[in-house]
Chain A
């Protein structure tokens, strides 16, 4: 996957997109093979990899539902190693980019699926990671949300980050200068946008 660019990984349901992202995020160990993320080997230096990635999995339960959005983001900013003084400004900037300011102090259990998805995306951006691993980042988002999410990805990439986005359908990502890859039958190959 090219550095400083967005790569979109398309594949049918069950092709292995999510598993691949989870492997790259170091939460699943591959049976065989090897990979590097931001120059670090997954099996040799998983801690280094974790310092450099921001992840968004398809799991709206991956945030603490009894806390509000701000409390969630403050906690994960701490786990990402963001300095205490930088946490709130960084969260405010992410909230602005993703349009989550109006419900930042609402409990997660009171938010809609799309609102939760935006919080999960904001969490992936904490600490300005070198690599974003985003599994179906547009899932559950309305039109405005889709545009904000894509702008969020573009803004990070324009600052030097790389993004790997997994999605079953890719029409929303077309005409944005992203690289399209297809995953099928255990192999990945670059493809052309149609």
Chain B
């Protein structure tokens, strides 16, 4: 019975992914702009990396480039899980489809994952493209532990999905707030060592970085890709991510449930 429910759950989430893919495909130009953005970002960092290195924080310019490429990839997964979940929830509310979806026999988690699944898959695909672009620019010469890398990225997506649920809950309740999710993501990117080591931060800001899940996601992914699968480091940080997810998942689901109940009470499931 449980297997049957899980299969049905997975199939419905997959149907949401297909739906969003069809919508995305109908805007063909967005594919081109997405690839352009990835190329632009990585090429820019390649030139920036030639300015840094030789300090106690970064050994040489090649090391910084590898450091920042992984940072860009992980931050992208975080952004997709958090902001696009909230954006897609708001889209359904504005377009009027949320009300009908709320009248379907769907578990709450299905709706939440339905908003997030394609953006997350898209970002994981973008990660491959980003790394593909980065290899000829100096990202080669490493021996990543691919299973650990995939696990780290999937766990990153999952952890930030729970934060995305909270963001979606806020957006559905007050019909705004996507920008708040955007600011939160920007601050986490700044404080967690996505584009520079947290060692350069003042001590009090570094203390904040230790409570950011992105710090551990970045450390795990960098260890998996750049340290040839430093098993101890990867395992420790992945366990921390699992712990964070275990705490945040119920919080995210409760927030989403409360928000939908609030929207039902106010009759605002469909509101522009």
Interface residues of A (CB under 8 A from B): 19, 22, 25-29, 47, 50-51, 53, 55, 57, 59, 61-67, 71, 74-76, 78-81, 84, 107, 123
Query: Which of B74-82, B167-175, B195-203, B263-271 is near enough to bind chain A?
Result: B263-271
Give Cα A83 to B100, complex, Å: 20
Given contacts A19-B267, A78-B15, A79-B12, contact A67 B22 (CB under 8 A): yes
CB of B55 closer than 8 Å to a CB of A: no
Given contacts A59-B96, A67-B22, contact A28 B11 (CB under 8 A): no
* Interface residues in B7-24 (C-beta closer than 8 Å to A): 8, 11-12, 15-16, 18-19, 22-23
Give Cα A29 to B258, complex, Å: 13
Q: Chain B CB within 10 Å — which of A19, A61, A65, A107 has the most?
A: A61
- The interface residues of chain B lying within 8 Å CB-to-CB of A81 are 8, 105
Some 16 contacts from A to B, beta carbons below 8 A apart, are A28-B265, A28-B267, A29-B264, A29-B265, A50-B106, A57-B100, A61-B96, A62-B270, A63-B97, A65-B95, A67-B22, A75-B18, A78-B15, A79-B12, A80-B105, A81-B105
Q: Which residue of A lies closest to B27 (CB)?
A: A66
Asked if B95 and A61 sit within 8 Å, CB to CB, the answer is yes
Interface string of B103-116 (1 = CB under 8 A from A): 11110000000000
Q: Which residue of B lies closest to A87 (CB)?
A: B15
Q: Chain B CB within 10 Å — which of A66, A79, A107 has the most?
A: A79
Given contacts A59-B96, A59-B99, A62-B96, contact A79 B104 (CB under 8 A): yes
Interface string of B164-198 (1 = CB under 8 A from A): 00000000000000000000000000000000000
Q: How large is the interface on B (under 10, 10 to 19, 20 to 34, 35 or more residues)?
A: 20 to 34
Give Cα A66 to B227, complex, Å: 45
Give Cα A50 to B106, complex, Å: 9
CB of B207 closer than 8 Å to a CB of A: no
A88 to chain B, nearest CB (A): 14
CB of B44 closer than 8 Å to a CB of A: no
Q: Which residue of B lies closest to A54 (CB)?
A: B103
Residue from A27, A29, A66 in contact with B103 in the complex, judged by beta carbons closer than 8 Å: A27
Asked if B267 and A71 sit within 8 Å, CB to CB, the answer is no
Q: Which residue of A lies closest to B94 (CB)?
A: A61
Give Cα A67 to B264, complex, Å: 27
Residue from A64, A71, A84 in contact with B97 in the complex, judged by beta carbons closer than 8 Å: A64
Known: A26-B103, A62-B97, A80-B105. 6 other contacts (CB 8 A): A26-B102, A27-B99, A53-B103, A78-B11, A81-B8, A84-B11
Q: Which residue of A lies closest to B19 (CB)?
A: A75
Interface residues of B (CB under 8 A from A): 8, 11-12, 15-16, 18-19, 22-23, 26, 95-97, 99-106, 261, 264-265, 267, 269-270
- The interface residues of chain A lying within 8 Å CB-to-CB of B18 are 75
Give Cα A80 to B106, complex, Å: 8
Asked if B15 and A29 sit within 8 Å, CB to CB, the answer is no
Residue from A19, A57, A76, A80 in contact with B99 in the complex, judged by beta carbons closer than 8 Å: A57
B112 to chain A, nearest CB (A): 14
Give Cα A26 to B99, complex, Å: 10
Asked if A61 and B97 sit within 8 Å, CB to CB, the answer is yes
Give Cα A47 to B18, complex, Å: 25
Residue from A51, A59, A63, A67 in contact with B105 in the complex, judged by beta carbons closer than 8 Å: A51
Q: When A and B form their complex, which 8 residue pairs have the shortest distance between CB atoms, in order from nearest?
A: A61-B96, A79-B104, A78-B15, A51-B105, A50-B105, A66-B23, A29-B264, A29-B265
Asked if B264 and A26 sit within 8 Å, CB to CB, the answer is yes
A89 to chain B, nearest CB (A): 17
Asked if A62 and B100 sit within 8 Å, CB to CB, the answer is yes
Give Cα A75 to B100, complex, Å: 12
- The interface residues of chain A lying within 8 Å CB-to-CB of B261 are 29
Residue from B15, B105, B106, B270 in contact with A74 in the complex, judged by beta carbons closer than 8 Å: B15
- The interface residues of chain A lying within 8 Å CB-to-CB of B102 are 26-27
Give Cα A174 to B19, complex, Å: 40
- The interface residues of chain B lying within 8 Å CB-to-CB of A19 are 267
Give Cα A74 to B15, complex, Å: 9
Q: Which residue of B lies closest to A72 (CB)?
A: B19
Q: Which residue of A lies closest to B100 (CB)?
A: A62
Give Cα A61 to B18, complex, Å: 19
- The interface residues of chain A lying within 8 Å CB-to-CB of B97 are 61-64
- The interface residues of chain A lying within 8 Å CB-to-CB of B101 are 79
